[in-house]
Structure 1
Amino acid sequence: METVGHLINGERLDVGQRFQDVFNPATGQVTKRVALASKVTVEQAISAAQAAFPAWRNTPPIKRARVMFRFKELLEQNSAKICQLIGEEHGKISHDAMGELQRGIENVEYACGAPEFLKGEHSKNVGPDIDCWSEFQPLGVVAGITPFNFPVMVPLWMFPMAIVCGNCFILKPSERDPSSTLLIAQLLQEAGLPNGVMNVVNGDKEAVDTLLSDSRIEAVSFVGSTPIAEYIYKLATANGKRCQALGGAKNHAIVMPDADMDNAVNQLLGAAFGSSGERCMALSVAVAVGAGTAQALVEKMRTAMAALKVGAYSDASNDFGPVITRQHKDKVVGYIDSAEADGARIIVDGRNAEVAGYESGFFVGGTLIDGVKPTMQSYQEEIFGPVLQVIQVDSMQEAMNLIDNHEYGNGTCIFTRDGEAARYFTDNIKVGMVGVNVPLPVPVAYHSFGGWKRSLFGDLHAYGPDGVRFYTRRKMITQRWPSAGVREGASFSMPTLK
């Protein structure tokens, strides 16, 4: 059986004393095993990165960017293989996997602009013979801990920007679907990256805790659930590290009475059930304003969901695939059960989904639940599955209050034709990423991604301009070369320019 190992100092290492099974979630079968790094293995990767840092730090930004240009080409040339690995280990349908890869490539494209965004600022003659300028200097060795649901895109949020800014990187990907992540790291080596600049260690809590406690790691990026994000942030900052930890979500869509209902339904289908709902930006709650709106929404969703196709990644006609593990399937089904027990109505039931030829797969069908109340567990917690819940309210303000009162503040949207309502919503809602008739308002690569409240721990968002700020330190330099023969006496007042 194939072992998925580590990439340390440019070499593939399949060593380990502990291993974990990797499943194909469509078949339910074990296909590989992944080596779980020990503390010693992680420290080996950190040492390799630390040794590579001085030379990489002093490599001109244009040369770093050229590596990223070649990396982008290799990602595109190997896209079929990358997407196949995503499908085999995550279950994501081929077209969805290609979309994930493309969004990741866009972050590599942004990183190629390093010579521009690392220029800093310069001011001449801020005082007599005094010039002042800023520089963006790398931090050193930095780490990323990434989730199973985007094994390619989320790592590409992190390491291209960190590396092009002059840092060396340690990546700890999800042990559930590690192969595509390891492949893209190997492609970066093939693009000409020096050994030790990029390292991958597969592992579990032992690997994570080593990264969080080792004093040589300057910063940590994380994407995952809120409880783990909070743990990562607290431990990293307690050890003096810079940290951005992106957590969970409960994303709401307000459907106004004037909304184009057919368009809203089409958009909700993809946003709620795409990637089996295993997205931190998935729309999991539709808030219908008014009884008529709620009734129309539920009936149109019921009809549209009859055409949904769930199945294996290799059939591009499928809309979404299985969830990641049998345990996660049981968790999602448990939330549906709890909603029903709490009095909600299961309009479309995906608990007993069956796919011919894949009877042992971890499939949950698209599920629609009506009559949901804010007190229900299924509403309060992140389900992370193909489940859409509907809540009815009487006004837009009541809908906004519902969203604002939730502990998460990752993403939200409103479906409306009313510009005044949309403007009020975008100005006042307490959520980090907001859409107007756009159900998945994920920022493009040259903006930054991040939520509010307990969806983000830290001050800077992921990728884009905030990515540059996170992976660099600004240094201000003030320099004076006095004119020959000019000597000033000592001054004990605060320097000013009058």
Structure 2
Amino acid sequence: MTEPGAFVRRVIVTRVLENYIGGAWVRSSGSTLLDVKNPATGEVLAQVPLSTAGDVDAAVKAARAAFPGWRATPAVARARYLFKLRELLDAHREEIAAICTSEHGKTLSESRNDFGRGIENVEHAAGIPSLLMGQSLEDVAHGIDCQAIRQPLGVFAAVTPFNFPPMVPLWFLPYAIATGNTFVLKPSEQVPLTQRRIFELIHTLDLPAGVLNLVNGGKDVVNGLSTHPDVAGISFVGSSSVAHHVYKTGAEHGKRVQALGGAKNFIIVLPDADRERAIANVAESIYGCSGQRCLAGSIVVGVGEAYEWVREALHAAAKNIVLGDGSKPGVTMGPVVSAAAKDRILSMIEKGLQEGAKLTLDGRGATVEGCPGGNWLGPSIFEEVTPDMTIATEEIFGPVACLMRAANLDEAIALANRSRYGNAASVYTTSGKAARQFHNQIEAGMVGVNIGVAAPMAFFPFGGQKASLYGDLKAHGSAGVDFYTERKIVITRWF
């Protein structure tokens, strides 16, 4: 068995990454290069180009040229490519998890879970012959039959975030090609190495050239994909401000758009909750992946007498977190992804102090021995947080918890529903009545009952409400199949 972390050395080579277009690796025409750094050590792993509109056009043209032949490929044959991809990815789990940790900073355990969720989407999409089935009814009128069939639309694109390098692209890629479309991926320029390796594996599948393409870059690539006349639809995951931009721009250019945005996830703890299990779960929700996930808990509301024991237990759990290089054994929280991310989180902490919140656990001075170049932030906890504060309304996206009080469940739900976001929310209780009220009244797309990270499995849709989702269709599951297909109604009469 391969030792954990053994593959990290593989990516410690400074090189300029290439795009994957038309079945081949090609150099970007962009002249600007960004360093890809290990956030725990500051070491430069590679350089990623900021590709141009010309690179986007080349990728879209390759995808467009491949579409007729790929669309005509039977669904069962397309599914067999996904069976092969699933086996390839599974065989390289440890390697890709280690690459993820090296460029993102999360622990190896978190990287394995990240990648595992991605593989589950490949598994689910491999069932496309069943998922694509339509509906039919004979004799809708005398001698007239009607059927609804699903058809692919053409070229689709996805713009994915830094926080889940292996997983989020696999929310989209398998469903897009399984349904008969062709695809262009723009991974985050902060963490491009994981997808580089995945596409190296994809290359060995001998897919028809142009079915899958990858273009590295920044906002110019995002705008190029959002406006290109031959792109039928685009998926996005990231901040709400950029999600709104992609949604608006793509829609104005006649595209289907699913744009998953930011979050301000509330966790409500009732007095009757299982204390030990609840706090362990809440702490992992807040501090897992250094708080850099869209389903992370952000605001913990202690209801009634629960507040005091939640406060005490959460402080104890946070102090037991082991900060360090995610590739090392025993580490339970890694660095944040970049110096810029650290500065942004620090500014949010400072804003909380200025607005009157009390920082009862301060992680700003955290260091890790032997890693002076890391982007270190320890767990932090704010108390005396009020609903109008910036830290109570805006996404922090870091290892910072905000504690609030509520007299009862009604008040707690009202606090959560004030948020302009509606990605996820959780409640901890042993009362079925309270749980039912919570999931009935809470304004969030994904709801946890005694679950701190309410992440749906691949066969259910993923997505929020309000400013957490721009568009009508969510990611993966049945929603993914709906997004990538057009329903056509055929009404038939034979004389």
Normalized against structure 2, the TM-score is what? Answer: 0.96
> Is residue 346–residue 367 contact of structure 1 (8 Å, CA) maintained in 2?
yes
Answer with 1 or 2: which has the greater Rg.
1
Please report how far the alpha carbon of residue 29 of structure 1 lies from its aligned counterpart in structure 2 after TM superposition: 2.7
Match of 2:227 among 213, 223, 228: 213
Is residue 398 from structure 1 mapped to residue 411 from structure 2 by the alignment?
yes
Is residue 92 from structure 1 mapped to residue 106 from structure 2 by the alignment?
yes
For structure 2, which runs of at least 5 residues remain unmatched after alignment? 1-13
Tell me, what secondary structure is at the counterpart of 1:101? helix
What is the alpha-carbon distance in structure 2 between the residues aligned to residue 344 and residue 136 of structure 1? 53
Spell out the pairing of 1:121-270 with structure 2 (5 A cutoff): 121-270=135-284
Query: Partner amino acid for 2:234?
Result: V
Spell out the pairing of 1:38-437 with structure 2 (5 A cutoff): 38-290=52-304, 292-437=305-450
Tell me, what secondary structure is at the counterpart of 1:3? coil
What is the alpha-carbon distance in structure 1 between the residues aligned to residue 95 and residue 317 of structure 2? 33
Query: Partner amino acid for 1:436?
Result: V
Tell me, what secondary structure is at the counterpart of 2:188? coil
What is the alpha-carbon distance in structure 2 between the residues aligned to residue 474 and residue 348 of structure 1? 54
> Is residue 167–residue 471 contact of structure 1 (8 Å, CA) maintained in 2?
yes
> Is residue 161–residue 471 contact of structure 1 (8 Å, CA) maintained in 2?
yes
Tell me, what secondary structure is at the counterpart of 1:230? helix
> What per-residue deviation string (whole Å, max 9, x for no partner) do you get for residues 362-389 of structure 1?
0111111111111111111100001111
Please report how far the alpha carbon of residue 22 of structure 1 lies from its aligned counterpart in structure 2 after TM superposition: 0.9
Please report how far the alpha carbon of residue 429 of structure 1 lies from its aligned counterpart in structure 2 after TM superposition: 1.0
Query: Partner amino acid for 1:342?
Result: E
> Is residue 123–residue 133 contact of structure 1 (8 Å, CA) maintained in 2?
yes
Please report how far the alpha carbon of residue 341 of structure 1 lies from its aligned counterpart in structure 2 after TM superposition: 2.5
Aligned residues: 481
For structure 1, which runs of at least 5 residues remain unmatched after alignment? 483-498
Give the root-mean-square deviation of aligned CA atoms: 1.1
Query: Partner amino acid for 1:136?
Result: R
What is the alpha-carbon distance in structure 2 between the residues aligned to residue 300 and residue 313 of structure 1? 25
> Is residue 344–residue 369 contact of structure 1 (8 Å, CA) maintained in 2?
yes
Tell me, what secondary structure is at the counterpart of 2:372? coil
Range that drifts further, 14-23 or 360-369: 14-23
Please report how far the alpha carbon of residue 6 of structure 1 lies from its aligned counterpart in structure 2 after TM superposition: 0.7
> Is residue 122–residue 174 contact of structure 2 (8 Å, CA) maintained in 1?
yes
* Residue of structure 2 equivalent to 1:7: 20
> Is residue 68–residue 191 contact of structure 1 (8 Å, CA) maintained in 2?
no
Tell me, what secondary structure is at the counterpart of 1:427? helix
Is residue 464 from structure 1 mapped to residue 441 from structure 2 by the alignment?
no
Query: Percent same amino acid at aligned positions?
Result: 42
> Is residue 23–residue 210 contact of structure 2 (8 Å, CA) maintained in 1?
yes
Normalized against structure 1, the TM-score is what? Answer: 0.95
> Is residue 319–residue 379 contact of structure 2 (8 Å, CA) maintained in 1?
no
Range that drifts further, 229-238 or 293-302: 293-302
Please report how far the alpha carbon of residue 164 of structure 1 lies from its aligned counterpart in structure 2 after TM superposition: 0.2
Query: Partner amino acid for 2:75?
Result: P
Runs of 4+ off more than 6 Å: none
> Is residue 322–residue 332 contact of structure 2 (8 Å, CA) maintained in 1?
yes
> What per-residue deviation string (whole Å, max 9, x for no partner) do you get for residues 161-208 of structure 1?
010000000111100010101221232232232110000000111111
> What per-residue deviation string (whole Å, max 9, x for no partner) do you get for residues 386-423 of structure 1?
11110012121111111111000000010111111111
Query: Partner amino acid for 2:278?
Result: A
* Residue of structure 1 equivalent to 2:3: none
